[in-house]
Amino acid sequence: MDLSVSKESFNQYLQFEKRFSNHTLVAYTNDLVQFFSFLEKTYEIKTIEEINHTIVRSWIVSLMEQNITPRSVNRKITTLKTFYKYLLRQQLITENPMLKIQSPKTSKRLPVFVEKEKMDLLLDVVDFGKDEEGQRNKLIIEIFYNTGMRLSELINLKVANIDLFSFQMKVLGKRNKERIIPFGRELKNEIQNYIKTKKDLPNEYLFETQKGKKLNPPTVYAVVHNYLSQVTTIDKKSPHVLRHTFATHMLNNGADLNAIKELLGHANLSATQVYTHNTVEKLKNIHKQAHPKA
């Protein structure tokens, strides 16, 4: 089977059956393009049947030699594993070369988060301005911090899916999975005030441009980066950091790990357990500062 043909059918499978997001589709497509380019240039391979585990392994070695991080290499390996599972399912191949491929080890990185005192400073002291844009920017920060939702979920948040009476909102997460996120009275008031004071009421999405289109990711990222820069010196100042902050503060205040998992929309508990490391580090610091023999 021709490489390009297999790539197109795989993309359709990801889009219509797996229902991957556009972001994930682009990542998987780019990984396959890079892999196929390597095959053609290095081995002059043009069909799927010619590929074996030795060839796949040589591509991984070439990536490592280019100083691509193990984390990025592992993501590319995941792409190939998904690709070959699809080919087997479609009976386009009889052997899976990925069964003999081992992923490089990665160092575990603790989630970066903003300390509670810094978040209090941001939301209670920093001046966002009284105009419509200022209210919008503060509400963006508030929603990220109060709900732990993803950037894509905030951008696609529809007014119709916010139930102010029941203090909950419905978001569309990864793989188009819906979940309900509760929120408090303070955020309810913020949302109500924002909608009331807007010159043009939102047509569909809570956050829209002047042309009635939903905000794009760079705009939201810039807002978060700008305001976090005013209260913290951490390297990463992104919407995802506010998601980490939400989870860490919830855990530090006694929230059940399974509850945090559901709120974040994680598929399994292992993805949520990474936040327990921050709690352990906090306990270590407290012990070091308070114990006379530490």
Positions annotated as catalytic residues are 150, 174, 240, 243, 266, 275
Least Cα distance to 177 among 21, 67, 6 occurs for: 21
- Determine contact, residues 145/116, Cβ cutoff 8 Å: no
Determine how β-strand 168-172 pairs with β-strand 178-182: antiparallel
Q: How far apart are CA 278 and CA 236, in angstroms?
A: 16
What token pair was written down for 258?
């399974």
Least Cα distance to 250 among 109, 110, 108, 113 occurs for: 113
- Determine contact, residues 18/175, Cβ cutoff 8 Å: yes
SS3 171: strand
- Determine contact, residues 1/48, Cβ cutoff 8 Å: yes
- Determine contact, residues 103/74, Cβ cutoff 8 Å: yes
